[in-house]
Structure 1
Amino acid sequence: MVATGFNMLAVLLVTMRLTGLAASAQVLGANMVPWRVRLALVIAVAIVLQPVVPAPRVGSSALEIVAASVVELLVGLAVGFTASIFFHGVRTAGQLAGIQMGLGFSALVDPTFGEQTTVMARWLGLAAWMVVIGFDGHHVLLRGLAESFAWVPAGGAGTALGRAVMAIPAAGAQLFVTAVVVAAPAVMIVLLLNVGMALLARAAPQLHILVIGFIFTITIGICTVAFSLTGMAGVFRDGYLRMAQYALSFCRPV
């Protein structure tokens, strides 16, 4: 049954679920976006969704309302965190590739995560975001979250929270899969280059392999990542959609 008129309780519960998403998902959860902007956007979306959200399944007591609000917040956090696992995987891939290429010293602050990271991790992260925005991947998550209120009405997210606890470890395993797949081309090429330079140093000891190899490793590593980005577009798209499906599976009916 869809709520008729303005239902303040429905707005509250919808806001709590969206707040969890805004706090943990990328872009909305990024440190570079002020909390006031995120909160204003969450409240605006909650008011827009309220007329089409089913009536909350919550009693009138304060304890039941508080408990339902906490559950909604946790479900939103789980959805946003799971969807963000893909970007953590890409960031890990960039760090692996950067360290192998000799760019581990080139650290900078990533405003998205608020942490220190390598240039290669930042580069791959931006490339992944351009691909996601290019095929409207952010709409997939927002549309799915809006539909989740039809699958799991506000105030009835207890079962969704239980499924989230069971599914997040499986989704977390995809972080390492994404990192290995994205970093594999650069890591393998640099590994073969290091083997070749080791053989060259053995055959011609008079060459300054450390000086020459450092330049070659960085140059060839960057070129490998650049040339592999066209093929990585499909990997980014599939990886993001897979994580979005994991995230929204918490709220889908069994």
Structure 2
Amino acid sequence: MIQFTTEQAYLWLNSFIWPFFRLLGLVATAPLFSESSIPKKVKVGLAALIAIVIAPSLSDMPTLPTGSYPALLLGIQQILIGIALGLIMRIVFAAVQTAGEFIGLQMGLSFASFFDPATGSNTAVLSRFLNLVAMLVFLALNGHLIMLQVVFRTFEILPIQPGSLNSNGWGVLLEWSAQLMISGLLLALPLIIVLLTINLAFGILNRTAQQLTVFAVGFPISLLVGLSLLTVVIPQITPFLMRFFDSGYSAMLRMARGLAGL
């Protein structure tokens, strides 16, 4: 007859539940995994499956009673770590969407928006289109697998143990959030320069030839030039996105080291 003690039950449960909490936080915020089109049960099942797979390779877990307050605090801590790791990669795609907002504003397509279930708000058409392009590049580069590999490394850098987290890790997250505007503007900069030059030229033309209806002429030209530039720029953004994804993976590791006080 097989017998096991309460301590063994806690050991088996803890070896699964603490990694599960961190992965659950990641799945809730990380790109691709957090899409609203994926059912919540599938997300929870995916986090549980990954936790079961990686649990045997992790270091010894703290032997805390699952129903105790220290265990509750440890679970909340792991969820926050997973959410922060997912937010770092979410900022990468938010920067791409910001670039679409900049481009659409210069092209006159800022009013062309529709409800995006992923964000729960109205999103510009170009933002949604560039986000799809970035997601396809992410999948083509196996970015989702690399992101999971980086998360597995965080278990070595930041092992699961009771205690407070170093504030330097949250500082890394705040510092990385600046890429939302910086990288978004860099991605949209070629089109912004050309379209801004066209708008300035139409402004000068409006002052010199006031009988010309600039709004009737300028909008189709700005739209045509913007679409022509997009056909040239979009095939060339893959190297930029590759470097941006690599920077996101590095930021995840820096944040883990910062939370661990390294």
TM-score, normalising length: structure 1 = 0.91
* Distance apart, 1:232 and its partner CA: 1.5
Instruction: Quote the Cα distance in structure 1 between the aligned partners of 2:163 and 2:126.
Output: 39
Give the equivalent residue in structure 2 for 1:155: 161
- Amino acid aligned to 1:108: F
* Distance apart, 1:213 and its partner CA: 0.8
Q: 1:235 to 1:153 in 2, by over 3 A?
A: same
Give the equivalent residue in structure 1 for 2:217: 212
The answer to whether the aligner puts 1:227 opposite 2:232 as a matched pair is yes
Give the equivalent residue in structure 2 for 1:8: 13
Instruction: Quote the Cα distance in structure 2 between the aligned partners of 1:36 and 1:96.
Output: 36
Match for residue 88 of structure 1 among 91, 94, 97: 94
Instruction: Quote the Cα distance in structure 2 between the aligned partners of 1:58 and 1:183.
Output: 51
Corresponding residue pairs, total: 250
* Distance apart, 1:15 and its partner CA: 0.7
Q: Give the aligned CA root-mean-square deviation in angstroms.
A: 2.1
Instruction: Quote the Cα distance in structure 2 between the aligned partners of 1:187 and 1:41.
Output: 41
1:75·1:164 contact (CA, 8 Å) conserved in 2?
Answer: no
Mapping of 1:23-62 within 5 angstroms? 23-60=28-65, 62=68
Mapping of 1:146-225 within 5 angstroms? 146-155=152-161, 158-159=164-165, 162-225=167-230
1:69·1:155 contact (CA, 8 Å) conserved in 2?
Answer: no
Give a deviation string over 1:98-124, Cα, whole Å, max 9, x none: 011110111112232222110010111
SS at match of 2:122: strand
SS at match of 1:7: helix
Match for residue 121 of structure 1 among 109, 127, 142: 127
Instruction: Quote the Cα distance in structure 2 between the aligned partners of 1:219 and 1:58.
Output: 64
Give a deviation string over 1:62-110, Cα, whole Å, max 9, x none: 1221111111011001100111111111111111110111101111122
* Distance apart, 1:14 and its partner CA: 0.6
SS at match of 1:216: helix
SS at match of 1:116: strand
1:167·1:246 contact (CA, 8 Å) conserved in 2?
Answer: yes
SS at match of 1:250: helix
Give the equivalent residue in structure 1 for 2:114: 108
Give a deviation string over 1:140-197, Cα, whole Å, max 9, x none: 11001112222222235743x6333121111011111111111111111111111122
* Distance apart, 1:248 and its partner CA: 2.5
SS at match of 2:177: helix
Where does the alignment leave 5 or more consecutive residues of structure 2 unmatched? 1-7
Greater shift after overlay, 75-84 or 205-214? 205-214
SS at match of 1:113: coil
* Distance apart, 1:225 and its partner CA: 2.2
The answer to whether the aligner puts 1:99 opposite 2:105 as a matched pair is yes
Instruction: Quote the Cα distance in structure 2 between the aligned partners of 1:187 and 1:146.
Output: 40
Identity %: 24
Moved over 6 A (4+): none
Greater shift after overlay, 187-196 or 12-21? 187-196
SS at match of 1:207: coil
The answer to whether the aligner puts 1:21 opposite 2:17 as a matched pair is no
Instruction: Quote the Cα distance in structure 1 between the aligned partners of 2:205 and 2:218.
Output: 10
1:27·1:33 contact (CA, 8 Å) conserved in 2?
Answer: no
1:83·1:243 contact (CA, 8 Å) conserved in 2?
Answer: yes
Instruction: Quote the Cα distance in structure 1 between the aligned partners of 2:88 and 2:169.
Output: 9
Instruction: Quote the Cα distance in structure 2 between the aligned partners of 1:250 and 1:167.
Output: 5
